[in-house]
Amino acid sequence: MTTQQPAHVVVIGGGILGVSTAAHLARAGAQVTLVTDGALADGASGRSIAWLNSSGDRSAPYHYLRLLGLDRYRTWSARRPESRDYLRFDGALKWAGPGESFRQTFGYERAGGYDSVWLDRADVATITPDVNADAVAEEGAIFNPGEGWVNLPDLVAVLAAEAVDAGARVLQHAGRARVEVTDDVATGVVLADGTVVPADHVVLATGGEVPAQLAELGVEVPDATPAAFVLFTDPVDVAVTTVLNTPRVAVRPTPDGRLVLDADWAEKSIVVGDDGALVVPEESVQGLLDEASKVLAGNPVLTAQRVGAGLKPIPGDGDPVVGAVPAIDGLHVIFTHSGATLGLILGELVAEEVLTGTPSPVLAAFGLGRFAEGADLGEVGIGAWAPVPQR
Ligand SMILES: Cc1cc2nc3c(=O)[nH]c(=O)nc-3n(C[C@H](O)[C@H](O)[C@H](O)COP(=O)(O)OP(=O)(O)OC[C@H]3O[C@@H](n4cnc5c(N)ncnc54)[C@H](O)[C@@H]3O)c2cc1C
């Protein structure tokens, strides 16, 4: 990499995107400080379904970026056999809800060369024996053999350790930091206790907090971040390897033999208290357990270990917001949904942009500039027909 290396880069946010960026920067020889409010992975990265995919229909640039995301995970997996504990490509199965069909989605995926196989109900027991074939839509389901899942807290821990080995400083439990801007230049980061950490470049990767933090700097970014939750089950006796995206529940296994569950209907049931506290109704917890039991072979009895609730970062138009902040020199932002799928690739590309000063063509469609008045919005991301979960 040709570099005009900034002397010191401060990354704010200890989720997958901040830590991945810090690790890539440190590996490339930059002086890096990562600061985060609490513990590493205590945000969305610690409560994600983390299905690795480019399923369904989206713009060509976004599909390409996600394929690069999958590519980096495959390389990671090949080079680090021990990652099989927390990173798996055992495939994913999805089927449509009542009155819907995934036939067109399947045609779209096949036309783009995406690894997608149509399964009739009769094939389910052979290809995905962990799934209850009777629960699958009558028309059948789409199996994507190349998809998988990652347990982000494990990946974050490995990346953070690598960053530290490469000389980075990681400040956990630093409280809420903010970017210091002087004359439209990011000059450092102010920690909660008032300490100023000077920086030549700042990367803002605070997940669902990004829009509010940018607004404080006078930069607007459309925001569709909802409150969301996942449910972690107690360890299960049955072997579940397939990631499931079904009309009523999404399911993926964890390294310690649990399942992680979520669903749109359950997300919508969250009650936000006056003090901002998120309350997940007991019926939603039991409902998710029941729905997951129905779609698993043998209908195992599932019990809840814990709920992980908080913000699910989603930019207003659904696509990632990544790149230099036009109005402020020396500031990069990463704010995206699908941050599990994109975790390695976005850290790599943002680190490269920061170090070289050259915008990545791969990220051209994802800059803040697209929200400027009169900007050419290019391709529309989400297809009209696809009732496919977008994660
Ligand atoms: C329920 C759910 C399901 C999901 N499913 C999928 C999926 O299937 N596939 C997929 O690819 N993606 C999925 N995602 C999205 C993915 O998990 C997120 O995009 C990703 O984890 C975001 O990572 P992040 O680093 O941007 O943010 P976070 O993980 O939220 O990390 C941000 C960090 O910044 C810290 N912070 C915030 N403000 C400050 C501040 N002022 N100062 C210092 N630190 C601060 C926080 O404490 C936090 O640690 C899902 C997310 C959720 C919530």
CB–CB of 44/313 below 8 Å?
A: yes
pLDDT 10s digits, 249-299: 999 999 999 999 999 999 999 999 888 899 999 999 999 999 999 999 999
CATH value at residue 175: 3.50.50.60
42 lines ligand 1 (CB under 6 A): yes
CATH value at residue 131: 3.30.9.10
The b/e string for 203-221 (b: 16+ C-beta within 10 A; e otherwise) is bbbbbbbbbebbeebebeb
What Cα–Cα distance (Å) separates residue 256 from each residue in 82, 232, 241?
15, 11, 13
pLDDT 10s digits, 51-94: 999 998 899 999 999 999 999 999 999 999 999 999 999 999 99
50 lines ligand 1 (CB under 6 A): yes
Domain that holds residue 202: 1-87+149-224+312-391
Residue 387 has a pLDDT of 46
- Is 92 found in the same domain as 77? no
> Residue 40 CA: which ligand 1 atom is closest?
49
What Cα–Cα distance (Å) separates residue 80 from each residue in 87, 158, 168, 214?
10, 11, 22, 37
- Is 385 found in the same domain as 316? yes
pLDDT 10s digits, 185-207: 999 999 999 999 999 999 999 99
Query: If you average pLDDT over every residue of the chain, what do you get?
Result: 94
- Is 158 found in the same domain as 118? no
- Is 120 found in the same domain as 43? no
Strand extents, DSSP E, 199-263: 201-204, 227-233, 243-245, 250-253, 259-262
Distance in Å, CA 15 to ligand 1 centroid = 6
344 lines ligand 1 (CB under 6 A): no
Q: Residue with the nearest Cα to atom 35 of ligand 1?
A: 13
Distance in Å, CA 3 to ligand 1 centroid = 29
- Is 365 found in the same domain as 321? yes
CB–CB of 145/118 below 8 Å?
A: no
> Residue 250 CA: which ligand 1 atom is closest?
8
